[in-house]
């Protein structure tokens, strides 16, 4: 167990479990660093043929901690730039990992949590799972590459709906749209993902790694550049009046009244 991340290897599968259920598995910088390090180590481990990313308890990952984010509004912009850089490193590590990664999603995958699921190669979700990109509701643009990956996976109009409205979207609809690979009963996402990962780990892992590289080159060759564009946008917006009102309203549990 390291930094709220449980790391195990079984049946040739690296299992990464976000273990912060009291905060709905909120994503912390130390957790992102630990996950990136675990992936780098497993990349060179011939005993590992695939990975699964999941969360403890009822939810996959609720994204960043907004109370913590509020504190960054009182700090120089360089502070939030550095923090987003930690998430960006994890996303790059996931896409560069030469083996398939499967997200096992129960409950909510929100904000950066949704970004983590999108950065995986495959997604298994419980039928009651909900995916949310609610950055806009607190006056921010997204981080973790969803503004790159969603338009590649979905029609532009549906990607725009997710990012511009910020409302939750159910696993059923995203399965119909092709983002979620497999739907399972509530409580069964991890078992399905582990079984699938174990099967892939017994396959031609060298060929699978090359296929992943080719897919990356086809779908998101500009990932590193786009992550920097997202970071620039996020760090600028965080200190603007819209984000100040949006985050304050969320923490005070009231509707936001964005300045016009």
Burial class (CB in 10 A: 0-12, 13-18, 19+), 57: middle
8: helix, strand or coil: strand
DSSP string, 83-97: HHHHHHHHHHHHHH-
Asked if pLDDT for residue 38 goes beyond 90, the answer is yes
The residues, ordered by sequence, that sit 6+ positions from 164 with a Cβ below 8 Å of its Cβ are 136
Q: Residue 64 falls within a domain, yes or no? A: yes
Taking residues 188-200, report their average pLDDT.
Answer: 98
Give the whole-number percent of the chain exceeding pLDDT 90. Answer: 94
Phi, psi of 188 (to 5 degrees): -115, 5
Q: How confident is the model at residue 66 (pLDDT cuts 50, 70, 90)?
A: confident
Contact 32, 86 (CB under 8 A): yes
Identify the pLDDT of residue 193.
98
Domain assignment of residue 78, yes or no: yes
**Reported pTM:** 0.95
Whether 95 maps to a domain, the answer reads yes
Neighbours of 249 (CB within 10 A): 17
pLDDT at site 65: 84
Residue 259 covered by a domain: no
In a domain, 243, yes or no: no
Residue 51: pLDDT over 90: yes
Question: Which range marks the domain in which residue 22 is found?
Answer: 5-187
Residues 6+ apart with CB under 8 A from 232: none
User: What is the per-residue pLDDT across 88-141, written as a single tens digit (0 to 9) for each?
Assistant: 999 999 999 999 999 999 999 999 999 999 999 999 999 999 999 999 999 999
Tell me the CATH number at 111.
Answer: 3.90.226.10
Structure tokens at 4: 């709220």
pLDDT band for 1, please (50, 70, 90 cuts).
very low
* pLDDT classification of 68: cutoffs 50, 70, 90: confident
Q: Are 44 and 9 in contact (CB under 8 A)?
A: no
Angle between helical axes of 77-96 and 29-43 (0-180°, round to 10): 30
Task: Check: CB of residue 84 under 8 Å from CB of residue 234.
Answer: yes
Q: What is the pLDDT of residue 67?
A: 84
pLDDT band at 2 (very low <50, low <70, confident <90, very high): low
């Amino acid at each position: 167990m390291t930094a709220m991340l449980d790391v195990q290897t079984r049946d040739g599968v690296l299992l990464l479990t976000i273990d912060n259920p009291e905060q709905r598995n909120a994503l912390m910088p130390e957790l992102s660093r630990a996950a990136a390090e675990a992936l780098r180590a497993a990349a060179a481990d011939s005993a590992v043929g695939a990975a699964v990313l999941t969360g403890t308890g009822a939810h996959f990952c609720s994204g960043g901690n907004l109370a913590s984010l509020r504190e960054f509004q009182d700090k120089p912009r360089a502070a939030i730039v550095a923090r987003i850089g930690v998430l960006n490193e994890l996303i790059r590590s996931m896409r560069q990992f030469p083996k398939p990664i499967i997200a096992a999603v129960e409950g909510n995958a929100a904000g950066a949590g949704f970004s983590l699921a999108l950065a995986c190669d495959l997604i298994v979700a419980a039928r009651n799972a909900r995916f949310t990109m609610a950055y806009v509701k607190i006056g921010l643009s997204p981080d973790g590459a969803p503004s790159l990956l969603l338009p590649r996976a979905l029609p532009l109009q549906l990607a725009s709906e997710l990012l511009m409205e910020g409302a939750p979207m159910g696993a059923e609809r995203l399965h119909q749209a092709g983002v979620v690979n497999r739907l399972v009963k509530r409580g069964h996402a991890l078992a399905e993902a582990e079984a699938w990962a174990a099967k892939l780990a017994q396959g031609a892992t060298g060929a699978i790694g090359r296929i992943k590289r080719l897919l990356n080159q086809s779908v998101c060759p500009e990932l590193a550049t786009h992550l920097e564009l997202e970071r620039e946008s996020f760090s600028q917006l965080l200190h603007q009046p819209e984000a100040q009102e949006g985050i304050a309203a969320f923490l005070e549990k009231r509707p936001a009244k964005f300045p016009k």
